Amino acid sequence: MPLSPKESFRALLQQLMDIVENMHEQCFKAQTPEHMKKIMNMTLRQGKALRTISVLTQDKPEGVPLKLLAERMGMTAPATSLLVESMVMKGFFDRLVNPDDRRSVRIKLSEKGRENFERITAAFIEQYDRLFCSLSPDELAAFSSIIRKLYTFQCSEKP
């Protein structure tokens, strides 16, 4: 019995998640043992925080308020504060006094955090390059168009 369109779409989404998960595994396996010791002492949530801070500070290099990080991560302020504390203790984040509001802090990547993020990102880019070499130019253009459309729908700022 053929799959319904909804079931077919869900199967495609599962395959896409499997591809990304496999790429994550390959990227981590490609790291040197000493680097693995540094990054394996990080939870998935801490890894997501590293990525989120990297993205947010592209527009705000001076750092972002804890509240903004909490909103983007879908976490409470107290939970985010604990997460940030663990990342500061590991040397991945710098916590700075907010000059606009001394009661709050700004968070940004430390030099160690930036180096680790860049190294992990480079490994992912290599994996994606190998993956996309298997697509024809037309397939790559169609895929890119769909990803941009989904990203705009899902990730653009909403009022």
Q: What is the pLDDT of residue 102?
A: 80
pTM higher than 0.85 for the full model? Answer: no
Tokens 């540094």 correspond to 38
| Residue 58 amino acid letter | Q
Mean pLDDT of the chain: 82
Q: Where are the alpha helices (DSSP H) in the chain?
A: 5-29, 33-39, 44-59, 66-73, 77-89, 111-132, 137-155
The gap from C-alpha 129 to its chain's centroid, in whole angstroms, comes to 18
| CA 134 – CA 2 distance, rounded (Å) | 28
Beta bridge partners of 149: none
Q: Which of 35, 61, 39, 36 is nearest to 50 (CA)?
A: 39
Which pLDDT belongs to residue 100?
79
Q: Look at residue 159 in the predicted model and tell me its pLDDT.
A: 45
SS3 content of the chain, % helix, strand, coil (to 5): 70, 10, 25
- Tens of pLDDT, residues 2-28: 778 778 878 887 888 777 777 766 666
Of 103, 115, 58, 110, the residue nearest 84 (C-alpha): 110
pLDDT digits (tens, 9 = 90+) for 77-129: 999 999 999 999 999 999 998 887 788 889 999 999 998 888 778 777 877 78
